[in-house]
Amino acid sequence: MVGHLRGRGEGSIYPYRNGYAAYVWVETPNGRRKRKYVYGKTEDIVREKWLELHQQARKGPVATNTPTLAEYLEYWLSEVIEPNRAPLTYSTYEIFVRLYIGPGLGKKRLHRLRQRDVQIWINQVARTCQCCAQGKDLARPEGRRRCCAAGECCEDRLSARSLSDIRACLRSALSSAIDDELISKNVAKHVKLPRVRKSKRNHWTTDEARRFLESARNDGDPFYAAYVLVLVLGMRKGEVLGVPVDAIDLDGLELDIHYQLQRVGGRLLHRETKSEASDDPLPLPNIATTALKLRLEDRAEDRTKADLAWQEFGLLFTTRYGTPIEPRNFNRSWNARCRKAGVRKITVHDARRTCGSLLADLDVHPRVAMRVLRHAQVSVTMEVYTEVSSEQTREALKRLGDSLA
């Protein structure tokens, strides 16, 4: 059948396979004139696409080939994510693309990627031992190889949380491709994954938190003030290590939380906090004021002793020579203090949650706790508040039992 003829350069619409197709002559980004095709099940659908294509052609150059997923991901990381998102987000997405998405789906053309392709790929990633796939054991010296390279697979598979994060990365990239009008549907949106079970978070009782701080204060631990900021003000590790000296207002009894220190991709970055909700001056209770005064005195003493070796970074918590504290070293000091204080070992982030749980035990209103913890959404605060302590549970059951006796 002869297609519907148009004017010179306008292209045409014609029957194609089980539907219709059309093309328009366009100028490509490299300056050449080529045909750009559109397809659809009905002539009306194709005509609408054909008209839209004409509008694009009038505005400027049009790409005639849809890029592969790998090609688009390279652009997405460098032009969309890196300039506009936090360095840690870029670093995480780059790892997901390099280790999982690129090798599994990178060769697929964007417009030919189907939900079935993504489902099969993510299932395969879930089944794969990452030690085998990435050669982790093989990278060890020959005498220290103990699992996959030695013929005994360690079955180092990704967690449900990691799989969910990888899918979220792909989904974000495909959403960007939709915005760029390269595809019309996000095929990663409804891919099925194992359910992510929230792990039971650890937190201390009031007595454990008190013993921990007393141990640090009595031993003159250089991080005593940092521990106070985590447990009393609910500050994040990066926020504590990134506190500038001039953020402390001892006269107004406030601490301005605006910066954080992070190790990202081999670099130690002192940058703004992750969201506006995290930026907030907090009032200083007596224990925090006293701890900060002690820290400022110790810092001044360290600077005097270091003399010419001192490097000024303007941070409250530093090494003996003024340089920033490596986050991993802070973790080691925290774990060592747990042992010395004789309390259960929990992470620094769990200690921040301890602040929230202690506020809940004191019946502090969730909106107030939300301000203290600087959560962007009250639902996050309520997750902490709903994890009632075992003491509260025991007391509630005792009261119930007494009422039924």
pLDDT for 184 equals 79
pLDDT for 257 equals 84
pLDDT for 279 equals 54
Of 309, 99, 50, the residue nearest 318 (C-alpha) = 309
Assigned fold of 206-396: hpI Integrase; Chain A (1.10.443)
pLDDT for 31 equals 73
Going from N- to C-terminal start, the domains of the chain cover: 12-59, 69-179, 206-396
Helix (H, G, I), strand (E, B) or coil at 136: coil
Q: Would the pTM of this model clear 0.85, i.e. be above it?
A: no
pLDDT for 28 equals 73
pLDDT for 40 equals 87
pLDDT for 7 equals 43
Say which DSSP state 307 is in. G
> Which helix (H) or strand (E) segment is 300 a member of?
helix 286-306
CA distance 266 to 143: 28
> Which helix (H) or strand (E) segment is 133 a member of?
helix 130-134
- pLDDT, one tens digit per residue, over 20-73 is 999 888 887 667 788 888 888 899 999 998 998 888 888 877 766 778 999 999
pLDDT for 3 equals 44
CA distance 150 to 30: 52
* pLDDT averaged per 10 residues, the chain (length 405): 43 82 81 83 90 84 80 93 91 95 94 93 95 90 89 91 95 91 87 79 82 93 93 87 91 86 84 63 84 94 94 94 94 95 91 73 57 55 51 57 53
pLDDT for 117 equals 96
Helices 378-385 and 366-373, interaxial angle, to 10°? Answer: 110
